[in-house]
Amino acid sequence: MTTRRTEARHTEADRLHSGDAAEAVAAILTAQTAALDVTSAARDVIAATGLAMAAAIASGHKVIYVGAGSSGLMALADCLEIPGTFGVSRHQVAMLFAGGAAALLDMPGAVEDDADLAAADVARVAPGPGDLIIAVSASGSTPYTLAVAKAAKVRGASIAGLANAEATPLLQIADYPVLLDTGPEILAGSTRLGAATAQKAALNMISTLAGVRLGHVHEGRMVNVMADNAKLLDRAAGMVADFSGVDIDAARAALARTGGAVKPAILIACCATVAQANSLLAEAGGHVGPALRALRQDA
């Protein structure tokens, strides 16, 4: 049996047993930091993946995250945040987690080897041309994840593969191969540690870049947020007030006219009509900055 790099012995593993709890924590932190640092080497392909994600969503296609076990949890965390953070329709962002929702309760290991399950899941979500698969696997060879990626590729979808070992099957078939070479885990084989840290950081970069390119970020603020609780309603009103210069009551009034949509509310607070705000945003591809400049030029 070939030993995977993630299951090899870490050079600092003895520090876990030093007897000093602070020293053990320091060793774990050092290993996590080193894992995070490897994402820098992949920044070009991470950027390309973010642009591909934006293109898929902008054209009305789907982004489908895929994973099993710890890698699946990292993919799931990113997937679930996209609609709330960027206002992307849920039907455009899907998750294929080996074993489905039931597997989240006790994380059975056998489901990650189930190619038949992968085939059924692919048939259900029906990926095709224009869709993007974001497949995450620490080993780069998880049978479920690899089977989904291969089947989706046959159907014409593009594949982004995130793996923590080089020259692996997932990276070899990927259109966007994201190598996160985190090496041995300080707890051998526990890819919820360094591998997962690097995966989550890479996914954060991919989806945030996509949100920016879709026009759902303006000056570092989430202007397409789904404001569905008190905290987010306050945040939305604050953004409208900040970007338009009106007081908070006027900002809330503008939001009331848009059903809580922040982008047009910013323009309305700057004296645009509802129709004008929507037209300017459409002409600007959903980007607030150009729409605001056009409004001020017309004033």
**Active site members:** 81, 112
d(CA 259, CA 246): 18
Place of tokens 């591998």: 195
